[in-house]
Amino acid sequence: MSRRTLRAGLIGLGAMGHNHARVLSSLDGVELVGVMDPAGDCTGASRNTPVVATLPELLALGLDYAVVACPTALHEEVGLVLAENGVPALIEKPLAHSATAAQRLVDAFDRAGLVAGVGHIERFNPALQSLRSRLEAGELGEVFQVVTRRQGPFPHRIADVGVVKDLATHDIDLTSWVTGHPYVSVSARTVSKSGRPHEDMVSVVGDLSDGTLVSHLVNWLSPHKERYTAVTGERGCLVADTLTADLTFHANGAVTTEWEALRAFRGVAEGDMVRYAIPKREPLLVEHERFRDAVEGKATDIVTLDQGLRTVKVAEAVLDSARRKASVSLRRPRTPAAPLVKPRHAE
Ligand SMILES: NC(=O)c1ccc[n+]([C@@H]2O[C@H](COP(=O)([O-])OP(=O)(O)OC[C@H]3O[C@@H](n4cnc5c(N)ncnc54)[C@H](O)[C@@H]3O)[C@@H](O)[C@H]2O)c1
């Protein structure tokens, strides 16, 4: 049976919008029918697709769905118009600039009964997908700790939010997703060295609901770019590099000792190291394929707006903790915390 071609629109043709335009232009079953950006298209990234300056002009082209890649501070305003007009939307991360705005988006798309997702692209990185499957299969045994580092140079174009909402939301989302557990508390410190109103460096320590310890170092002040996730457990450590999509396993050594006094010591020794050969598909393409399938009504795995909201709430708790120099609880009063993802046994 031949599939109907979906008419997609793109909102925002900046650094990320360029990538969305490239992927949407060659996505099977989809036609990119229009792009909206008040600044127009000075680089030719729209590839002959009409570029309009306003949202009503884009909607007039007749859309089956839209991708929102304008600045974060505008996600709410644009998303609410799309929901009002019955247009499903894939909204870039973070879902919105505040938890209140993110909640309004969740409510609007819920009320309209529309498919909507958040572009937390790290979930589609092959290294993290493989890491998550290995945790689900119990390859590490009990998980003790998740450590992430996301450092790099300053992005002059991002001015509406700080590094916590812009970059650390990647770490917050991926940590809950790979482990399957929500955050219950965070403690953080930030600094602002660039002279802008928002923070540009953060250190976070937190706890997940199962007791896993987490730590995130995220900044825009490093000439060295890295995207590092390490999960340490009973049997060793899995390290994902999401720039190269490599996943490496450092196993605990199986060292026996005849020294009676040391047998009681339960530390670890260095064992084998394996770098897995994993198929590497472009994360943005996989994200788009999943969203297209969801719009077509197929059962597929997208990042829901509720999950995007939860991530923004954790980011706000991080900022609150840094402001107050105190640990902030994310436990919901009285009702038990709902997991960010379905329990593993239910999948
Ligand atoms: N998933 C990822 O890895 C990733 C990476 C980068 C950016 N992002 C997200 O994508 C969004 C855009 O970031 P960017 O780096 O492309 O920013 P950018 O500044 O490069 O581009 C933003 C574009 O939006 C346009 N714009 C401004 N007002 C608009 C409006 N009212 N309607 C439509 N377009 C408008 C600007 O002219 C500009 O072309 C942000 O939410 C950011 O967090 C996600």
Q: Can you tell me which atom of ligand 1 is nearest the CA of 72?
A: 41
If asked whether residues 73 and 190 sit together in one domain, one would say no
pLDDT band at 347 (very low <50, low <70, confident <90, very high): very low
Question: For residue 187, is pLDDT > 50?
Answer: yes
Burial degree of 209 (CB within 10 A; 0-12, 13-18, 19+): buried
Question: For residue 8, is pLDDT > 80?
Answer: yes
Query: Which residue range(s) make up the domain with 49?
Result: 6-121+285-304
Question: For residue 336, is pLDDT > 60?
Answer: no
**Residue 1 located in a structural domain:** no
Question: For residue 111, is pLDDT > 50?
Answer: yes
For the sheet containing 65-68, what is the strand order? Answer: 51-52, 30-36, 6-11, 65-68, 89-92, 116-119
Alpha-carbon distance 33 to 204, whole Å? 42
If asked whether residues 231 and 335 sit together in one domain, one would say yes
If asked whether residues 163 and 95 sit together in one domain, one would say no
**CB 12 near ligand 1, within 6 Å:** yes
Which tokens belong to 339?
């997991």
* CATH classification of the domain holding 228: 3.30.360.10
If asked whether residues 215 and 231 sit together in one domain, one would say yes
Please give the average per-residue pLDDT across 307-327, as a whole number.
98
Nearest CA to ligand 1 atom 25: 12
* CATH classification of the domain holding 72: 3.40.50.720
Q: How confident is the prediction for the chain on average, in pLDDT?
A: 92
The percent of residues above 70 in pLDDT, for the chain, comes to 91
If asked whether residues 175 and 230 sit together in one domain, one would say yes
| pLDDT (0 to 100) of residue 42 | 83
Alpha-carbon distance 108 to 56, whole Å? 18
If asked whether residues 48 and 140 sit together in one domain, one would say no
Distance 235 CA to ligand 1 centre (A): 41
**pTM of the entire predicted model:** 0.93
The tens digit of pLDDT for each residue in 134-162 reads 999 999 999 999 999 999 998 877 678 99
| pLDDT (0 to 100) of residue 155 | 80
| pLDDT (0 to 100) of residue 83 | 98
Q: Can you tell me which atom of ligand 1 is nearest the CA of 161?
A: 43
If asked whether residues 209 and 83 sit together in one domain, one would say no
Distance 236 CA to ligand 1 centre (A): 39
The tens digit of pLDDT for each residue in 270-288 reads 889 999 999 999 999 999 9
**Residue 82 located in a structural domain:** yes
Question: For residue 171, is pLDDT > 70?
Answer: yes
